[in-house]
Amino acid sequence: MTNFNFQVTPTGPPKNEPSVAVNLLIPGIMVAVSTDSSSGVPQTGLYRSLDGGFSWSNTLLPLPPGFTGAEAATVSYGFPSTFVVSAHVFPGASDGTAVFYISTDNGVTFSPPVIVALGFGTYINNDETNITIDTGQSSPYLGNIYLSYNHQYNVANGGNSTAFLQRSTDNGVTWNPTILLSSESEQVERPDVTVDLTGIVYAAWVTVNPSYRYVIRRSLDGGATFEAPVQVSAVVPVPTVLPVAGYAFRVLTFAAIATDRSVGPATGNVYAVWQDNRQGYADIFMSISTDQGIHWSAPVSITGAPAGSQNFFPAIDVDPLTGVVNIIYYSNQVDGFNLDVYVARSINAGASFTNTRITNTSFNPNGSSPVPVPLIGDYIDIMSVPPGGYIGVWMDTSPGSQTIFAGYSDIVIP
């Protein structure tokens, strides 16, 4: 029983915030992205594997004219050979803009960047992007692309932020008018989107003001309209800097959501995941809906981690063939300081989980820095590799600097 760790990017300038997608028809083909500072400024790094994550090519996606940097990239797969990427680009400390790229040849080539949501000075900043393609096998909206982002406004004055969503029904050539998902009276963090087997769209986010709550809205018409918000759970936020001596990196609380798109007893289940401090330390909690997002179960911890350990940055995906639930997260449970990556897996629709450490070596979040670093990225990612496998991607400093790794384990779930 082995953990397989593969270095995706070379050692050097920092790279973090990885996202990964897998070709469901040819699972050995994978595309990943990250915030990559190889060129000296942050840009969108693009990495491609043809051998199931063992080896990766490295390049950078181009910026739109007039823009000088990028961050917060995500990637998604669509039938038969499409990969799409979203990112937040900027010309400096302002004008944050959401952009889109598409490949129809399994990631060999990508289109030039398409501006989807333009930022304006220090007034409007469209950040924390997330992109999803509808691959529901019984969806009338198969191929729809959903791009969500954190719409920050009145930025220079402290301002506020709302959850926005846009969709494309023509492979990103055009984008429908923006939908305001959250209330302008609330401040939110990075929204997430998932689509079920029949094309129902679920948008999720965490409000951080006036109260911390996990909220979802669903769409029954392919993202054209959304129903009223439903509260999944109250959230107890983890400290922005976790209470561990030597930590300085920020930990923001985001929503993660996935649906069971398999054909089985749990088809249509919706899984909401987030980090929560209700036990006095950061842990990963999950709530399940078995009636298409109308009602939600009481939140439960899925880690089995020791009390007092810090567990954070969860991401979730559900195998579209087998229904296996896969959740990745960071944890310092080995020694209380160094980080590892764990994957929680469930073969019984979230009733129980097996947690496996998939990093071979614990790593110092500060790398070789003599002082604590303020940022290790804001998320990591996991994607199912049907039938029954997965690929996780994370930032790892074991080579000395922030580097992207990919990995999985062949430990069989009992």
Cα angle 266, 272, 274 (rounded to 5 degrees) comes to 145
Please determine, for residue 93, whether its predicted confidence score (pLDDT) is greater than 80: no
Whether cis (ω within 30° of 0) applies to the bond prior to 365 is no
Tens of pLDDT, residue by residue over 109-137, are: 999 999 999 999 989 999 999 999 999 99
Question: Who has greater pLDDT, 300 or 155?
Answer: 300
Please determine, for residue 408, whether its predicted confidence score (pLDDT) is greater than 80: yes
Mean pLDDT on 67-79? 97
Residue 198: inside a domain: yes
Other CB atoms closer than 10 Å to residue 225's CB: what's the count? 10
Contact 373, 384 (CB under 8 A): no
CATH number, domain with residue 204: 2.120.10.10
Percentage of the chain surpassing pLDDT 90? 96
Q: Total structural domains in the chain?
A: 1
Residue 54: inside a domain: yes
Residue 11: inside a domain: yes
Residue 401: inside a domain: yes
Question: For the whole model, what pTM was predicted?
Answer: 0.98
Query: Quick one: pLDDT at residue 92?
Result: 80
Strand spans (E) along 12-159: 15-22, 30-36, 43-49, 57-60, 69-78, 82-90, 97-103, 114-117, 124-133, 145-153
Residue 239: inside a domain: yes
- Closest of 188, 74, 198, 179 to residue 136, by C-alpha: 198
3-state secondary structure of 62: coil
Residue 122: inside a domain: yes
Cα separation, 75 vs 49, in Å, equals 14
Task: Using pLDDT thresholds of 50, 70 and 90, give the confidence band for residue 1.
Answer: low
Query: Quick one: pLDDT at residue 346?
Result: 98
Query: Quick one: pLDDT at residue 339?
Result: 98
Residue 94: inside a domain: yes
Mean pLDDT on 211-233? 98
Residue span of the structural domain in which 329 resides:
3-409
Residue 414: inside a domain: no
